[in-house]
């Protein structure tokens, strides 16, 4: 079986409206799964490439200098500003020089924290 886009499938994956994967293509492929002695064929679903959303700057944005306490922990920074650790992707997306969301979050680095009004108006529309 060839790889198929999710749009061609009858059993779609339900994604939350704020999921960072909501615009990513989802594919399905029939592959051999399991260990070498008990393998079988099965359908595996996976996400295609995810494009970093453009989060425009706003006069309401805040800036945060990473400290030793929150170094390597973008989730903690997201929780501090948004009350939700799973919004770390917003901060990573707003800072294009953040390639690795763990290793690039070092003490002393200044991160742009997008205003929630921008996130809801522009990114999550």
pLDDT tens string 59-71? 999 999 999 999 9
Total domains in the chain come to 2
Examine the domain organization and report whether 118 and 95 are in the same domain: yes
Examine the domain organization and report whether 81 and 116 are in the same domain: yes
pLDDT tens string 35-56? 555 555 566 666 666 567 788 8
pLDDT at residue 54 in the model: 81
Examine the domain organization and report whether 67 and 119 are in the same domain: yes
Residue 36: which domain range?
4-47
User: pTM of the predicted model, to two decimals?
Assistant: 0.61
The 3-class secondary structure across the chain, one letter per residue, is CCCEEHHHCCCCCCCCCCCCCCCCCEEEEEEEECCCCCCEEEEEEEECCCCCCCCCCCCCCEEEECCCCCCCCHHHHHHHHHCCHHHHHHHHHHCCCCCCCCCCCCCCCEEEECCHHHHHHHHCC
């Amino acid at each position: 079986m060839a790889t198929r886009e999710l749009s061609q499938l009858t059993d779609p994956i339900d994604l939350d409206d704020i999921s960072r994967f909501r615009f990513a293509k989802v594919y399905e492929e029939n592959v051999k799964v399991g260990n070498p002695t008990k393998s079988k064929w099965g359908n595996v679903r996976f996400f295609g490439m995810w494009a970093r959303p453009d989060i425009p700057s706003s006069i309401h944005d805040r800036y945060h200098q990473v400290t030793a306490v929150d170094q390597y922990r973008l989730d903690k920074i997201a929780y501090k500003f948004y009350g939700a650790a799973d919004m770390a992707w917003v901060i990573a997306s707003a800072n294009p020089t953040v390639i690795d969301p763990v290793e690039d979050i070092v003490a002393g680095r200044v991160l742009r924290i997008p205003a929630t009004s921008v996130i809801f108006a522009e990114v999550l529309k």
